[in-house]
Every structure is written in structure tokens, then in C-alpha cells.
Amino acid sequence: MTIAQDVKCHNCGAPLSLKAGEVIITCEYCGTAFNVATDKKFFLKHSIIPSKLDEKGVLETVRRWMSTGALKPSNFQKASKIEGASLTFLPFYIVHINVTTSYEGSFTRTGGNEPRTGKLHKEYYWKILGRRGSRFPTREYEIPLSGKEDFNLSKISKVAKFLNAEFDEKDAEDLAKGEVADNQRFLLSSQVNIFKKVENTFEIEDIEFVHAPVWKVDFVYNKTSYQVLLCGSNGNVIRGDIPPPDQSVGGFFSDLKKAFSGR
Ligand SMILES: [Zn+2]
């Protein structure tokens, strides 16, 4: 949905096409990013990771993924019908954050009650996808930051979709703090299972804004639709649906043969 609003790019004067909920908009004519909530130029460093794979390369990669690796149906590649592939540039905030977690508690899992206190210090480059209510598996995506370049519209092919961010860097920072705090607690859970006190001190080193290329491939296997998400820069599968194994007797023997031949 495009809202009829007369917002123009401060850099080149072109009309900006705003969609409901979007806050950080990239001008599709000159590539300048704006915060439309504050009507100011967006000051974070904005990069793009170009897609090195085209559709043909993506489909080859998905077929290879289907025919290798454990726990996949033996006829996965042959019996799957690929329905289509689409490329979307997703907006991520990379929050470089230092955290020190001071904790007091105890460990009772071994039957005793050992008091535990200490500090856990860690440095993170925490990824926040700039979209609300998205089920994208951000934690599973190792964004290949080594492939990033200064933002440039020419790196986006005509067929690709481009998503703007729905919140700004301040919201991204708050989300990152919450998720990092959860992660610290998770790391501590092997030593402390009852917490009396947990305190986090955060230091934000830097935040940057990166558009990363994600391909979505739809396929049908055994009359059911599935998806694979993969990185357009390095071709890694971010997440791929694996259908349940073939339950027929023939499927069992074929899987067995595959297991013994080691492929
Ligand atoms: Zn512009």
C-alpha cells in the first residue's frame, strides 16, 4: 500500500514512495536514506551486499543442497518441483555492543546449593532485521559483512524487491540490548540456574545499516509446498525446509542404500 503523501527526497527532489509502517526510506532515484518520522537524513553508514548469484545459480545451489547432506529424503532433488525464486534486499541493523553482566545466584542442578557470583563480559555484532513481525530466521543468518559495499542503487537488479526499515536505529539498539541480555542469561545457564540478581551494563560502539540479498525459493515435494532461503552473496542456505522422510518400504531401502554408500 502506498500512502499518498507529498514527501520528496531532500537530496534529489524525487517523490519518495512511502509504504505504511516504513520509517527509514531509501530514495529509489539517488539512494539517499531518510528517516521520514523525523524528516531528517539518516546518518548511519548504509551499505549493501550485492547478490553474486543470479536465478540460475540459485536454482543450481538449491538442487545441490537437496541432493547432499543427511536426513533428507533420498528422492528429494528428483521429486521436488521448483516453483520459483525471488530476491529481496532485507534491511539489517548491525549493532556493535559490549555488555557486562553481573550476576548473583546459585547452582542447584547437581543436588547441592552452590552460590555463584561473577561477571560475564562479551562483545557482539548483533543483527536486528528492521521489519516488524517478521518470521525471518535472523539468528541463523551469518550475514557476509566482508561482501558489503557503500550503498549504491546499481547493485540492485531490476527484478529484486527492496524493503525499507520499519523502525529506526534507536529502536534497533533497544531490541539488541534485550536480545543480548537474553543471550547472556542463556550462556550463564550452565553455571547458574537460580538468579538473585542480574545486571547488564551496555556500551554501544557503533550501529550500521546494511541491505543484504536473500533469495527465497519455493518448491513442491509430495504435493506440499516448502521454502528455502539462501544468501545471494555466498550461496549459503540460511534455512531450508526438509520434508519428512519417505515412509514407504521402498523409501526405507533406498535411504539404507544411500547411508551405506556414504552419500
Ligand atoms: Zn533522492
Question: What dihedral do alpha carbons 245, 247, 249, 251 form, nearest 10°?
Answer: -20
H-type alpha helices, 47-196: 55-67, 76-79, 169-188
User: What's the gap in Å between 129 CA and the centre of ligand 1?
Assistant: 24
User: What's the gap in Å between 158 CA and the centre of ligand 1?
Assistant: 18
User: What's the gap in Å between 33 CA and the centre of ligand 1?
Assistant: 8
pLDDT band at residue 44 using 50, 70 and 90 as cut-offs = confident
The pLDDT tens digits for 210-248 are 999 999 999 999 999 999 999 999 999 999 999 987 666
Domain boundaries, the chain: 44-260
User: What's the gap in Å between 231 CA and the centre of ligand 1?
Assistant: 28
Q: What distance in Å separates the CA atoms of residue 235 and residue 153, rounded to the nearest whole number?
A: 21
First to last CA, the chain: 48
User: What's the gap in Å between 26 CA and the centre of ligand 1?
Assistant: 8
Looking at residue 1, its pLDDT comes to 46
210: its cell numbers: 546494511
User: What's the gap in Å between 136 CA and the centre of ligand 1?
Assistant: 29
Looking at residue 186, its pLDDT comes to 95
- Exposure string for 92-102, b = 16+ CB within 10 A, e = fewer: bbbbebebebe
User: What's the gap in Å between 15 CA and the centre of ligand 1?
Assistant: 8
User: What's the gap in Å between 87 CA and the centre of ligand 1?
Assistant: 23
